[in-house]
Amino acid sequence: MARITAGIGSSHVPLLGVAVDQGKTRDEYFSPIFAGYDWTRDWEKQQKPDVVILVYNDHASFFDMKIVPTFAIGCAERFGICDEGWGPRPVPDVEGHPDLAWHIAQSLILDEFDMTIVNEMDVDHGLTVPLSMMFDTPKTWPTKVIPLAVNVVTYPVPSGNRCWALGEAIRRAVESFPEDLNVQIWGTGGMSHQLQGPRAGLLNREWDNKFLDMLVGDSDAARWIPHIEYLRETGSEGIEMVMWLIMRGALGKKTRCLHRHYHIPCSNTAIGHIVLEPEA
């Protein structure tokens, strides 16, 4: 039986990808950010996940305004790397797991989550930056990946409660897959940041840390945070944090924190990172 063994939350700021690609991860600016991921990189070498369900958002890279899926699951064998205007990141293509992806897609639809199925897709920094943070610069990624793209750009975006419930349904789907697979789920994006308008640059260390606290233990209070609270407290792009709730929902009633990291700033953004495991 496949099982979800751990969850990771992480920011996916594009500048982190630039730092990796240009070998600057240990310079004065980036060192405190990357040092907070050292623990996780070592831990992943022992965990060796077979598949990562990677929850992220596309930033007008593959999807434009023609089609705006709320929840899209990537079922392809392979995903290419988007050119986001500065040329594609020099990272390996991402290998999918179509058997598990299709199994999850079918199970979710029966479970009343009407997913968009994507059979050809390139992925942007939202997906590749977390891979670089957790696995550094390998020739091929050491895990297969099921991309799960969430609309967090055009409002209304899905509610926190809906995201959490989707995570719960993903857990049920994974546990009904017959093959013995070690599956992780990652929620990415955030933490506080605003990239637009006169209020740009807003960061909120206190709120972000309260949010990290809420992911640990048996509370499900975070699923009820309304969109307006993310917008007021964490900036217009802080809403990406709803994607962390899909990860949290998939870990079951109770979690244990294995590792946690927070740093301000990276470009316009607060960096947050957490490693959780389900606790019976």
Partner 1 sequence: MSELKPTQNIHEYLAEFDDIPGTRVYTAARARKGYWINQFAMSLMKAENRERFKANERAYIDEWNISEEGKQALLARDYNRLLDLGGNVYFLSKLFSTDGFSFAEAVSTMTDMTFPEYQDMMKKGGRSPQGNRSIKGGY
Instruction: State yes or no: residue 194 binds partner 1 (CB under 8 A).
Output: yes
Q: Which of 12, 59, 125, 273 is catalytic?
A: 125
Give yes or no for a contact between 100 and 177, defined as CB atoms under 8 angstroms apart: yes
Cα 120 from chain centroid (whole Å):
20
Which CA distances in Å does 204 have to 25, 81, 264?
24, 32, 9
Single residue of 6, 134, 270, 276 touching partner 1 by CB under 8 A = 270
Using DSSP, state whether 121 is helix, strand or coil: coil
Which CA distances in Å does 96 have to 90, 122, 213?
18, 12, 32
Question: Which CB atom, from 1 or from 110, has the smaller least distance to partner 1?
Answer: 110
Length of the chain: 280
Provide the greatest CA pair distance for the chain. Answer: 52
Helix crossing, 125-135 with 14-21: angle to 10°?
A: 50
* Helix or strand holding residue 32 (H, E): helix 31-35
273 is catalytic: no
Residue 161 CB, shortest distance to partner 1, in Å, is 7
Q: Rule CB under 8 A: which of 123-162 touch partner 1?
A: 153-156, 159, 161
Residue 149 CB, shortest distance to partner 1, in Å, is 13
Residue 104 CB, shortest distance to partner 1, in Å, is 20
Span of 46-54, 141-149, 204-212, 240-248 interacting with partner 1 by CB under 8 A: 204-212
The pair of three-digit structure tokens given for residue 52, joined into one six-digit string: 């990562």
125 is catalytic: yes
CA-nearest of 131, 123, 173, 125 to 148 is 123
Question: Which CB atom, from 136 or from 233, has the smaller least distance to partner 1?
Answer: 233
* Helix or strand holding residue 128 (H, E): helix 125-135
Cβ neighbours, 10 Å, residue 1? 10
Question: Which CB atom, from 63 or from 141, has the smaller least distance to partner 1?
Answer: 63
Instruction: State yes or no: residue 67 binds partner 1 (CB under 8 A).
Output: no
* String marking each residue 82-121 x if it binds partner 1 according to CB under 8 A: -xxxx-----------------------------------
Q: Which of 12, 59, 103, 193 is catalytic?
A: 193
Instruction: State yes or no: residue 196 binds partner 1 (CB under 8 A).
Output: yes
Instruction: State yes or no: residue 214 binds partner 1 (CB under 8 A).
Output: no
Question: Which CB atom, from 51 or from 82, has the smaller least distance to partner 1?
Answer: 82
Give yes or no for a contact between 34 and 19, defined as CB atoms under 8 angstroms apart: yes
As annotated, the active-site residues are 125, 193
Can you give the binding site for partner 1, defined by CB under 8 A? 14-15, 59-61, 64-66, 83-86, 153-156, 159, 161, 164-165, 192, 194-205, 207, 220, 223, 227-228, 231-233, 235-236, 264-265, 267-268, 270
